[in-house]
Structure 1
């Protein structure tokens, strides 16, 4: 006996699939697995079959035609084809969780494709299937074009492939946004975006901060109410970054809040973690996010006696500074200025005094 893959389109009407399977059974063909893909042209039936050794491709095509199948495709199959397509797709999704860069190879394997091409621009046509060509939208920008001679792609294959593309993009984004930062004293923290579930840890951060630290962050006010903390964790049009130490303890947070074309930035660092470069690292990542999001500039509103924050903004290359009594508003360009030798030395010192 030999393994074959058989694909054919039949009318999506009661009894037509049984006619096709009966025609194959009359030739002693044993159906091991079957998938049905619904398309506008009818039901595309995809079989993995075990056929007598003497049976040829022409014999199988004739049996399909006799069973009212059309647009038939027949090819030899390997033993790994015994795994059904949903199971294969799940296995490949598991691989992408650990190797998102293997997306092209994964798509080629899943779809038996002859060519997988990534283009840096969106597709000229709508994402979907076009015979032996599939177009996929890349959430990170660009598009994928996948080609194979036969058989034509189905909507179900497109849905699985697009899901894998989105999974790989999500994993890549997660890896990019979760960064381990080493402080000059050797301590490590993870810098990552905040989520709603961080509320309890952020509340504990505020409880550990001194009254002076909270006053400098909130311009005279104490720890904010829980409703405001929730808004700070997921600001509309912006982002909040957390610094998470060992044991999941949040030791700092930095926020970017949209104000039209400007982004308002703020930082809160637990007292024991201040002057260790953590605030500078968070602000640099906020500026990178602001550049990707298209903000025109960043602005920080702070107390005039907040010398540590003023030094940090100076190191980052701030622009105009406006004074209003005890309040200072500092504008920070979104794109970092070219670093001179003197500035490079100052940035190195900021690792220890930021």
Structure 2
């Protein structure tokens, strides 16, 4: 038996797909996977099949045409094609996360393209696709041009490619947004967004902190387990910033979790790095992220005896402090907050 890839357009009417599959079955062609791409011309069906060794490309093409398939494309398939499309796309996205410069190769693999070229903005066409040519806007400027002879690109493939480009753009933006912080005593630190691979270093930060520091950060007294820590590093809505010293040692972390138009902020600074201006710097950058995201205000829930954090938030412009027993809630408006009339 041999693996083949078949793509054909079928009228988007009840029963028409079964006509095509029945025609293939008469040739003992076993369908291993199928994807359906909806287009204006009809449904484009993409099959991965296992066919008897004696069947040729012409034999399979004839079976497709007999099954009312049109604009057909038939080619031998590699065993790697046995991985389903979502698995393949996720694997390529993971590769781009770890190697942003591999975007061109990832696009070629995702789309089975023969060539991927980058073109400057002055010569780039508008994003879109026609036949075997696709243009994708590069968020950093210019555009990617993706080429293949056959089959023609579909809207679904264009959407997948755009998503992969957006993943690469996000990763690149995170790398470029890191800044160097010079503390008043001359110490240099790097401030950047947290990543999943920082989990071990962040765990070491928690182990370095005193019980009192952890109590003031986690009001419940429960230090996060590995699962919660992983979610904190890459929140679904928000960002976690790290302060990284020489050698990759994480000495502080600040988190912003967004819900609606509000963001909850928290801060953890290793004992030996406290009262050196590091917490203020991290909270200022969190507020910048909040303003870019359109959040109206930031809220921090603190232990009432956490005077250092209260002082920092007041310096940053906190307007509302509400106390509930041993906990205070502090509201810090952002630049996007609506102005109040006097």
TM interval, shorter chain, is 0.5 to 0.7
Could you list the runs of 5+ residues in structure 1 that have no partner in the other structure? 195-241, 251-269, 287-354
Aligned to 1:262: none
Aligned to 1:60: 60
2:271 maps to 1:273: no
Aligned to 1:44: 44
Q: Is the 1:135–1:144 Cα contact (8 Å) retained in structure 2?
A: yes
Distance change in 2, residues 1:112/1:186 (3 Å)? farther
5 Å-filtered alignment, 1:19-34, equals: 19-34=19-34
Aligned to 1:138: 138
SS at match of 1:87: helix
Note the alpha carbon deviations across 1:308-354, whole angstroms, 9 max, x for none. xxxxxxxxxxxxxxxxxxxxxxxxxxxxxxxxxxxxxxxxxxxxxxx
5 Å-filtered alignment, 1:335-354, equals: none
Q: Is the 1:35–1:45 Cα contact (8 Å) retained in structure 2?
A: yes
Structure ID, larger Rg: 1
Aligned to 1:244: 243
Distance change in 2, residues 1:124/1:175 (3 Å)? closer
Q: Is the 2:61–2:72 Cα contact (8 Å) retained in structure 1?
A: yes
Aligned to 1:117: 117
Distance change in 2, residues 1:54/1:89 (3 Å)? same
| Aligned counterparts of 1:78 and 1:179: Cα–Cα separation in 2 | 45
Aligned to 2:201: none
| Aligned counterparts of 1:193 and 1:61: Cα–Cα separation in 2 | 52
Could you list the runs of 5+ residues in structure 2 that have no partner in the other structure? 195-240, 245-249, 255-272, 289-342
| Aligned counterparts of 1:129 and 1:148: Cα–Cα separation in 2 | 11
Q: Is the 1:118–1:143 Cα contact (8 Å) retained in structure 2?
A: yes
| Aligned counterparts of 1:90 and 1:123: Cα–Cα separation in 2 | 31
Structure 1 residue 247: deviation in Å? 4.2
Structure 1 residue 39: deviation in Å? 0.6
SS at match of 2:121: coil
Note the alpha carbon deviations across 1:47-99, whole angstroms, 9 max, x for none. 00000000000000000000000010000001111111121011100111111
Structure 1 residue 191: deviation in Å? 2.0
Distance change in 2, residues 1:249/1:106 (3 Å)? closer
Aligned to 2:322: none
Q: Is the 1:128–1:155 Cα contact (8 Å) retained in structure 2?
A: no
| Aligned counterparts of 1:95 and 1:193: Cα–Cα separation in 2 | 19
User: Aligned residue pairs: how many?
Assistant: 216
| Aligned counterparts of 2:191 and 2:124: Cα–Cα separation in 1 | 38
Structure 1 residue 179: deviation in Å? 4.2
| Aligned counterparts of 1:8 and 1:178: Cα–Cα separation in 2 | 48
Q: Is the 2:124–2:142 Cα contact (8 Å) retained in structure 1?
A: no
SS at match of 1:110: helix
Structure 1 residue 181: deviation in Å? 5.5
| Aligned counterparts of 2:80 and 2:38: Cα–Cα separation in 1 | 24
Structure 1 residue 243: deviation in Å? 7.7
5 Å-filtered alignment, 1:165-204, equals: 165-179=165-179, 189-192=189-192
Structure 1 residue 151: deviation in Å? 0.4
Q: Is the 1:11–1:42 Cα contact (8 Å) retained in structure 2?
A: yes
Aligned to 1:2: 2
Distance change in 2, residues 1:23/1:249 (3 Å)? closer
| Aligned counterparts of 2:67 and 2:167: Cα–Cα separation in 1 | 39
Distance change in 2, residues 1:170/1:85 (3 Å)? same
Structure 1 residue 141: deviation in Å? 1.5
Note the alpha carbon deviations across 1:195-252, whole angstroms, 9 max, x for none. xxxxxxxxxxxxxxxxxxxxxxxxxxxxxxxxxxxxxxxxxxxxxxx883644256xx
SS at match of 1:28: coil
